[in-house]
């Protein structure tokens, strides 16, 4: 474990924020904190007083935040010609109304992956909607001034809910020659050698390896049907065929269909029949990963009963 590198100024801001700082404005609650966030999501490009500011946010949260302006089921359904306008509206709708502090002006929004880490985050709650903005790049002085406009949260007052972590739900995986994987292009399809029964609501809970088979029901919950203490299919990386131009270095490509916000305590003690109440998020595309890193995104296809992923974007 490596210590988090902080400048003296960042350390002073961290002490000021402490357990978090809160502000109420126009029936909205704002919490400024130093917390864990990141992964596959969206990057919101903004600026403040001429200085660029980049923010990370979760795609499905953002889609729900848009509902007063536009109802969309997923990022892929957002019209491309509206994204800049929606970026500007997002910033305007998140203004905490601090009289002595400038606020962000949005310019554009796009998909992007950010390594999950501790960082400055602004969490907003408004009616039934919530949005967490992770600050990737911003003037530290602006964050410091913003913190001055918020009230300190006392630690006993926090009483946070049970911590949850994002866990991939996978449709299956394949073992491929590393050289062949480097040659894939948009339009190619990868057949999943090990696939779950998605038509029956089946997916696999996955953290570095398969953990459990889950079944999705009509209420949106996931029930654990089988614990996978080990999996011969997962452990066996012997190539089924030998490619003439292959490297004979085999890698496992995992097809992540969704992400489940699972309680940390439940993950530590998985049992058959337990229910994980989500929420699960998906934007309609499958993310192909190798050792946890995305390499491509694509559409999940059922070809005569066999699952495959057609490449739409390369990472």
Residue ranges covered by each domain of the chain: 8-158, 164-314
- Detail the DSSP E strand segments found in the chain: 21-25, 28-48, 51-57, 105-126, 129-137, 151-152, 164-177, 189-191, 194-195, 202-206, 210-216, 222-227, 250-263, 275-276, 280-281, 286-290, 293-303, 306-314
Which string of DSSP letters, residue by residue, matches 195-219? Answer: E--GGGTEEEEESSSEEEEEEE-TT
For residue 161, what pLDDT is reported? 64
Assess contact for 180 and 243: CB atoms under 8 A: yes
Percent of the chain residues topping a pLDDT of 90: 44
For residue 267, what pLDDT is reported? 80
User: Where does the chain have alpha helices with state H?
Assistant: 8-17, 59-65, 83-93, 140-148, 155-158, 178-182, 232-235, 264-268
In sign, the C-alpha dihedral spanning 127, 260, 281, 215 is: negative
Report d(CA 48, CA 82) in Å as an integer: 22
pLDDT tens digits for range 83-112: 999 999 999 888 887 766 678 899 999 999
For residue 233, what pLDDT is reported? 54
The mean pLDDT value for 121-144 works out to: 92
For residue 100, what pLDDT is reported? 60
Give φ, ψ of 146 to 5 degrees. -60, -40
The mean pLDDT value for 267-273 works out to: 83
CA-based end-to-end distance of the chain: 28
Residues forming a β-bridge with 33:
121
pLDDT tens digits for range 157-204: 555 566 778 889 999 999 999 998 899 999 999 999 999 998 888 899
Is the confidence at residue 39, as pLDDT, over 70? yes
Assess contact for 255 and 171: CB atoms under 8 A: yes
Residues in the chain: 315
The mean pLDDT value for 211-222 works out to: 82
């Amino acid at each position: 474990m490596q210590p988090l590198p902080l400048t003296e100024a960042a350390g002073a801001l961290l002490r000021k924020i402490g357990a978090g700082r809160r502000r109420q404005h126009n029936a909205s609650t704002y919490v400024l904190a130093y917390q864990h966030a990141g992964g596959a999501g969206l990057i919101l490009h903004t600026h403040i007083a001429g200085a660029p500011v980049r923010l990370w946010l979760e795609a499905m949260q953002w889609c729900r935040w848009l509902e007063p302006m536009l109802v969309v089921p997923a990022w892929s359904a957002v019209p491309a010609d509206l994204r800049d306008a929606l970026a500007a509206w997002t910033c305007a709708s998140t203004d905490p109304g601090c009289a002595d502090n400038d606020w962000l002006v949005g310019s554009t929004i796009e998909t992007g992956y950010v390594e999950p880490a501790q960082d400055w985050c602004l969490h907003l709650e408004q009616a039934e909607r919530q949005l967490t903005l992770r600050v990737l790049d911003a003037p530290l002085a602006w964050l410091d001034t913003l913190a001055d406009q918020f009230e300190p949260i006392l630690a006993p007052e926090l009483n946070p809910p049970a911590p949850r972590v994002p866990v991939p739900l996978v449709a299956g995986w394949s073992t491929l020659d590393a050289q062949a994987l480097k040659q894939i292009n948009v339009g190619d399809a990868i057949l999943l050698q090990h696939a779950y029964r998605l038509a029956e609501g089946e997916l696999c809970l996955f953290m570095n390896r398969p953990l459990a088979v889950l079944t999705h029901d009509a209420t949106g919950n996931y029930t654990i049907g089988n614990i996978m203490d080990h999996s011969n299919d997962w452990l066996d990386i012997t190539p089924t065929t030998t490619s003439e131009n292959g490297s004979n270095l085999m890698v496992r490509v995992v097809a992540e269909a969704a992400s489940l916000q699972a309680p940390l305590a439940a993950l530590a003690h998985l049992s058959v029949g337990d229910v994980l109440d989500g929420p699960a998020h998906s934007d309609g595309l499958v993310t192909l990963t190798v050792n946890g890193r995305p390499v491509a995104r694509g559409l999940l296809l059922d070809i005569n009963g066999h699952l495959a992923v057609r490449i739409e974007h390369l990472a």
